[in-house]
Amino acid sequence: MSDLKSLIRTIPDYPKPGIMFRDITTLMSDAQGFKAAIARMAEPFRTEPVDAVAGIEARGFILGGAIADRLGCGFIPIRKKGKLPWKTIGQEYTLEYGVDVVEIHEDAVASGSRILIVDDLIATGGTAEAAVKLIRRSGGHVVAATFIVDLPELGGVKLLAGHGVKSHALMAFEGH
């Protein structure tokens, strides 16, 4: 995957000192890179039933929409608090400083439906864990979670495994 990895821009000390920000906008603006990333993210799920992709705001929307189209399934947005127009279910998750909330429409997930979670990157796994909880509270089954980038030192993949959720990622970077 070194070809795709070279399309990711690393910005040191953004948004704060010590963080290496893995910027996927440079991959998405490359036509072949974007197409290959979507194809590889969708590939493991072409043979198992997925009823909908749940994308996490905001980069998970761009990737998730394209993956849903590839898989021929629906798309469900998981958004920051206060953005969805209909009745919602909310889930708190912990950030380095304080807490945040993500929400899903209460009727977005059909009971027993098979949902694939999509985001650009997994770090501590807190955001994806909140998505897993929202889908399960909505009555859905989480098929897996898929990302472009994993930061293994931050333990997110292990956190999801502890919830019985398998993660897929196209590449990994050392550090934070």
Which residues participate in catalysis according to the annotation? Answer: 59, 96
**Each residue of 24-58: b (16+ CB within 10 Å) or e?**
beebbeeeebbebbbebbbeebeeeebbbbbbbbe
Nearer to ligand AMP (CB atom), residue 79 or residue 113 = 79
- Tokens 């996927």 — which residue? 24
Listed in order, strand segments (DSSP E) in the chain are 9-12, 20-23, 52-56, 74-80, 88-94, 99-105, 114-118, 121-122, 141-150, 167-172
Residue 113 vs 144, nearer CB to ligand AMP: 144
- Chain residues binding ligand AMP by CB under 6 A are 19-22, 56, 59, 119-128, 156
Give the span between the Cα atoms of 136 and 155, in whole angstroms. Answer: 22
Q: Which is nearer to ligand AMP, 19 or 36 (CB)?
A: 19
Q: Provide, rounded to whole angstroms, the least separation between the CB of residue 58 and ligand AMP.
A: 8
- CB of residue 24 to ligand AMP, shortest distance in Å: 8
